[in-house]
Chains A and B, each alone.
Chain A
Amino acid sequence: KNQVEQSPQSLIILEGKNCTLQCNYTVSPFSNLRWYKQDTGRGPVSLTIMTFSENTKSNGRYTATLDADTKQSSLHITASQLSDSASYICVVTSNAGKSTFGDGTTLTVKP
């Protein structure tokens, strides 16, 4: 069964600090991996997409990495801001077109 596991489940950091969120998956054959940001009470918004051949991709202060061999991805947030407080969802899509959503990591940035 295809699975996507995210860790930690929740995280609290101080404003200005960096943090890294993890996503491990068993989806195969792999097509792509996306990170979404979901603010409280809102729908998810795509941050980045990574395909098999990509190792690193940045979107402002967000940097996603992918290791397709170990089936791991990470989302690194630099110089966190209060507005980064949200849930971050990892979604992995197989070549068959099926997308599997992780349960998300809830990030709280405190002043």
Chain B
Amino acid sequence: NAGVTQTPKFQVLKTGQSMTLQCAQDMNHNSMYWYRQDPGMGLRLIYYSASEGTTDKGEVPNGYNVSRLNKREFSLRLESAAPSQTSVYFCASSPNDRGLGETQYFGPGTRLLVL
């Protein structure tokens, strides 16, 4: 069991470039999440997917899009990267809906620098 995996580990983009962050989990979890973590700040929810086929906005969705490709995979896309999107991005999953306040299992993170 790899748990939650994320690719790439590191990425440098120029302002205006686009990219997709990939996330996959092998725990048969229903719910998946994308967070960003900035220095000295708590994790902030960007988007989440309570189950396959559904996605919902979190606290800071502007500038991002997501796709729940199947039960295992949940991708995060930056259409036109901005320096304000420089951050560490974490993907997480939980067995069921976040409304239950379940334990979330986090991936190792993707460090993104936008110049």
Contact = CB atoms under 8 A, between A and B. Distances in A.
Contacts of B101: 31-32, 34, 49, 93, 97, 99
Contacts of A12: none
A45 B49 CA distance: 20
A54 B103 CA distance: 17
B109 A41 contact: yes
Given A97-B100, A99-B101, A43 B40 contact: no
Nearest to A100: B42
Interface in A2-42: 4, 9, 31-32, 34, 41-42
Given A43-B90, A89-B42, A99 B98 contact: yes
Interface of B: 4, 40-45, 90, 92, 97-101, 103-109
Given A4-B42, A43-B108, A43-B109, 17 more contacts: A32-B101, A41-B108, A42-B108, A43-B4, A43-B107, A44-B43, A44-B106, A45-B106, A46-B105, A49-B103, A96-B99, A97-B101, A101-B42, A101-B43, A101-B44, A102-B42, A103-B41
11 contacts: A42-B109, A43-B106, A43-B109, A44-B43, A44-B90, A46-B103, A46-B105, A93-B98, A97-B98, A99-B98, A101-B42
